[in-house]
Structure 1
Amino acid sequence: MSLMEQGARLFFRGLSEEIEPAIEDLRDLSEQMEPALREFAQTMGPALKELMEKVGDINMYHPPEMLPNGDIILRRKDDPLPPPEPPAESAPGEVEL
């Protein structure tokens, strides 16, 4: 094995040893959070589904805003104006009002 391969192997072993405690902590945290996340999904899932059906494409809205009283509002982005309709054919000399 070349010195480069040995160095790379030692580097990755050291890196693995350094991040292993963080990965274990993350695994423990995820195990603790799992029941709460499942409960949240069961209770809020239907409400979120209903909200998304009403909202439609989320890209049509600005980011949510919180008002001073705590209300949260979603503002719809302005749709571009449709092109104007061509004037209706009328007899010469007539003006359509």
Structure 2
Amino acid sequence: MKIIATALIVATAALPVAAQEEDSLMKRGLRLFMEGLMEEMEPTLRDFGELAENAAPFLQEMQRSLGEVVEDFDAYHAPEILPNGDIVIRRKTPLTDPLPPTEPALPPIDDRGIDL
């Protein structure tokens, strides 16, 4: 009985030490995993940075061009993509007066094709 009690006391005392060792092993394993992941991701991240640097002038030009066409982006809802693939950008408040017709109306024609 004394042997069992002694073994239980030793095992109980050893639990915190084992837990600490397990905890430090988990920390070490996690650190090694993260270091490996960063090594694997570094070329991709570097390429992505170069892509962003190369795309910056194009994006700035596109923003400038859009700014010439659209006077105020806050006046529009977010774009919607229709099932057929068309993209619609609606005004939040419609224009008060429609645009004037660009072509004059055609004269009426009778059923024989003669102008009336």
Unaligned runs of 5+ in 2: 1-15, 94-116
Identity %: 23
Q: Work out whether 1:66 is the aligned partner of 2:84.
A: no
Alignment match of 1:33 (pick from 48, 57, 60): 48
Matches within 5 A, 1:17-56: 17-48=32-63, 50-51=66-67, 54-56=72-74
Computing the radius of gyration from Cα coordinates, the structure with the larger value is: 2
- Quickly say closer, same or farther: Cα 1:7–1:76, change in 2 above 3 A: farther
Query: TM-score, normalized by length of structure 2?
Result: 0.45
Q: What is the distance in 2 between the residues matched to 1:12 and 1:77?
A: 54
- Quickly say closer, same or farther: Cα 1:6–1:47, change in 2 above 3 A: same
Q: What is the CA RMSD across the aligned residues, in angstroms? A: 3.0
Question: Which of structure 1's runs of 4+ aligned residues deviate more than 6 A?
Answer: none
Q: What is the distance in 2 between the residues matched to 1:61 and 1:45?
A: 22
Q: How many corresponding residue pairs?
A: 73
Give the partner amino acid of 1:16.
R
Query: TM-score, normalized by length of structure 1?
Result: 0.52
